[in-house]
């Protein structure tokens, strides 16, 4: 069985950030939904990957909207002779990088709301569904 490992070599760092204060629209529905996007770029050497994660919300139940994107650069470390290729590689790499990048996004969004003189907003926990997110 082949095991893939990633070593963080740069980041996580903020790639894009948009934060806007707005008025809350009165609604009986208190649901707050966040949208997530994932991406992966392989460098020419194929042993370095950049993984991007974005989170966005424009919920009517929040006094703000945001679109925040972060990235991390990872060194691919394989313990087997053959390397995982294609979508299987992408899914595995994103699954391994997710904890680093999601924690960074969570802290960034909480800090943005706190600095806007609002209670810190904590991103809802998210189960990573790679089938839907990586196509």
How many domains does the chain fold into?
Answer: 1
Inside any domain, residue 47: yes
Structural domain containing residue 43? 4-121
Inside any domain, residue 36: yes
Inside any domain, residue 135: no
Name, in order, each residue with C-beta under 8 angstroms of 3's C-beta and a sequence gap of 6 or more: 78, 79, 80
Inside any domain, residue 40: yes
Inside any domain, residue 129: no
Q: What are the pLDDT tens digits along the chain (135 aa)?
A: 457 888 999 999 999 999 999 987 776 777 788 888 888 888 766 788 999 999 999 888 889 999 999 999 999 887 554 566 777 788 888 888 988 999 999 999 999 999 999 999 998 877 766 665 554
Inside any domain, residue 58: yes
This prediction's pTM: 0.83
Q: The CATH number of the domain where 24 resides is what?
A: 3.10.420.10
Inside any domain, residue 94: yes
């Amino acid at each position: 069985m082949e095991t893939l490992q990633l070593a963080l070599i740069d980041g996580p760092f903020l790639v894009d950030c948009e934060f806007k204060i707005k008025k809350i629209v009165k609604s009986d529905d208190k649901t707050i939904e966040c949208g997530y996007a994932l991406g992966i770029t392989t460098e020419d050497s194929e042993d370095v990957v950049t993984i991007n994660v974005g989170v966005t919300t424009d919920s009517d139940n929040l006094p703000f909207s945001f679109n925040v994107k972060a990235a991390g650069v990872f060194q691919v470390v394989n313990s087997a002779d053959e390397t995982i290729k294609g979508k299987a590689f992408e899914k595995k790499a994103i699954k391994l990088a997710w904890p680093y990048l999601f924690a960074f996004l969570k802290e960034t969004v909480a800090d943005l709301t706190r600095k806007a003189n609002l209670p810190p907003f904590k991103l809802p926990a998210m189960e990573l569904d790679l089938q839907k997110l990586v196509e």
